[in-house]
Structure 1
Amino acid sequence: MSDIKQALETAFDGEPPLTLDVPKIMKAGKRRVAVRRAVTGVAVLVTVTAVCVPAMLGSSGGGGSVEVGASSASPPLTTAAPPSSPADEPRVTHTTKPGADVPSMPLPQPPRPVTDERAEQLTALLAASGALPEGAQVGPIAGDPMTPWTFAASGTQYKSVTDVTTAAGRGMVLIYLMPGNPPKCEPGCRVFRQPDEREVFVSTSEWNGIRLTLVDVAIPGGRVHVQVSNSSDKAVGDGGQPLTEDQAVKLATIPGLTF
């Protein structure tokens, strides 16, 4: 054993002694720790700033702007409120919860309130219009509480729902005074100009034996919409529609039929 120990000592004879400068190592370690802490602190500060600034900007509540980091050397950072919409423009409110229902768009408001008194005046206009052909018979629609050939105030519109029987056939005649934008000519419609320069939009369709005529004409603040079909009480009539296209146009353009 002593021979082996002596041989190892001889083999490493002359090597420089291994020295550890403990103070120097501790000093270098402290410097690295200090640098690392400084870098970490800057990273945290940047992250907090990135989160807080948008939150602050978004908390203005739409009532102006929020000033961030104001100083005499540089102008403040502000966020402008979105431009306001016209008071009568309908809005759609979206919810931030995924999968939640979106409230429906509110109906446009008529130029003046819808009242029962005005509905009676419109009923008188309808009765005196002569829009129905001679010998026409009117009646209620089964299951509908409305009195035939009258107008009723309903929400933001006036409506009339009537079962009509003429020599041409039997069916349903609906008249609406609806607020909103003027009517547009959809694909397939035809446009007729009245003596008073108003444009009347007419379209016809047929499906499973049910024939439908639609007439629209602009009025101040909305439109008059007329539907004439050869079906009533959810059953298809044996004959044709109770009113011709010209008679439906005459109905939609009754003088004084406005809000």
Structure 2
Amino acid sequence: MNDIKRVLATAFEAQPPVRLDRAQVIESGRRRLWRRRMAMAGGTVLAVAAIVTTTVFVGFRQPQQLQVGTPIVTGSGAQTPPPSSAGVAQRLTKVLAESRIVPAGITLQALPDSGDALQFQWERNRYEAAADLVNNQGDEGTLFVMVAESKANDARPTCAPPNTCVQREFGGRSVQLTTAPIGSRGEVLLMAHTKLPDGVQIYAMTSNVSVKAATQHGKGASSPTTPAHLLTLDQLGQITGLAGLKL
């Protein structure tokens, strides 16, 4: 045992001390929980899978007419946003906000440990926006929207049972609408997905369980926080059919 201690001491004596920030650990865990919840939709719907890390929704400005650039890769392999990402995110946010598809009686709430609600933000090879939804009766759900670059993994949900799918047209786009029961507590995801001719994907999802509740109770362990989804499949389809949601 003493030999093992000496080996370990020698191996680490030259290394700087490791400090764990409790707040960072909790925030990281909650973000991973949200990504796993999204991945439970089945199939490839989050082989896209770093979905929703930080999402904020602030007052929108006039969009800059900028194109998405090539992500910059640092020496450590981490990607930093392309110079055009802020302008593109603002444009997408403005398109979604001005569509008024989310009913006026629904309040948008920021996700735990993130910024404000439902502003697009660049994340690797996609733009994503999310918020918890609360109606006048206090029922809670969630909304997630993604606009993914053509090089992103396929985000189209599987139609294998127990999921069910229908194909509809919104805004001249062919959209797959998917209903996906999750776990055994009654959570159901409603999803809309379309792929544009240039390979860009638009994906919208709502759940009858809020992210706040899922964070508190754990993956697949929260009962529905609303008796009926606060957005319908048709409304998700309308979001994916918005002509301005493109790159």
TM-score by length of 2: 0.54
Instruction: Give the greater-gyration-radius structure (CA).
Output: 1
Distance in 2 (CA, whole Å) between partners of 1:156 and 1:256 is 18
Structure 2 Cα separation of the partners of residues 118 and 195 of structure 1: 21
Matched, 1:199 2:155: no
Ranges in structure 2 where 5+ consecutive residues have no aligned partner: 1-46, 50-66, 70-81, 215-221
Map 1:1-259 onto structure 2 (within 5 A): 112-113=68-69, 115-143=85-113, 145-166=114-135, 169-180=139-150, 183=156, 186-187=159-160, 188-194=164-170, 196=172, 198-207=173-182, 208-219=185-196, 220-232=198-210, 233=212, 234=214, 235=222, 236-259=224-247
Shift of 1:185: 6.6
Amino acid at match of 2:134: T
TM-score for both structures, normalised by structure 1: 0.52
Read off the aligned partner of 2:88 and give its amino acid letter: R
Cα distance in 1 for residues equivalent to 2:136 and 2:188 = 17
Q: Please tell me the root mean square deviation across aligned C-alpha atoms, in Å.
A: 2.7
* 1:140 shift after superposition: 0.6
Check the 8 A contact 1:210/1:230 in 2, yes or no: yes
What is the deviation of 1:184?
Answer: 7.5
CA 1:224–1:185 in 2, change beyond 3 Å: closer, same or farther?
same
User: How big is the shift at 1:167?
Assistant: 5.5
Task: Name the CA distance, whole Å, in 2 between partners of 1:182 and 1:138.
Answer: 24
Q: In structure 2, what is the Cα distance between the partners aligned to 1:182 and 1:171?
A: 21
Does the 8 A contact of 2:140 with 2:208 survive in 1? yes
Q: Secondary structure at the match of 1:141?
A: coil
Equivalent pairs: percent with the same residue? 19
CA distance, structure 1, for counterparts of residue 128 and residue 241 of structure 2: 15
Q: Distance in 2 between matches of 1:136 and 1:162?
A: 11
The structure, 1 or 2, with the larger RCO (C-alpha pairs under 8 Å, 6+ apart) is 2
SS at match of 2:90: helix
- Alpha-carbon deviation of 1:193? 2.3
* Structure 1 residues 205 and 186: alpha-carbon distance in aligned structure 2, compared to 1, 3 A threshold: closer
Distance in 2 between the 1:112 and 1:121 partners?
A: 12
> Contact between 1:185 and 1:201, CA under 8 Å: does it hold in 2?
no
Distance in 1 (alpha carbons) for counterparts of 2:235 and 2:87: 27
Deviation per residue, 1:13-67 (Å, 9 max, x gap): xxxxxxxxxxxxxxxxxxxxxxxxxxxxxxxxxxxxxxxxxxxxxxxxxxxxxxx
Note if contact 1:177-1:258 (Cα within 8 Å) is conserved in structure 2. yes
Note the residue ranges of structure 1 that are not aligned, 5 or more in a row.
Answer: 1-104
Preserved CA contact (<8 Å) 2:171 2:243: no
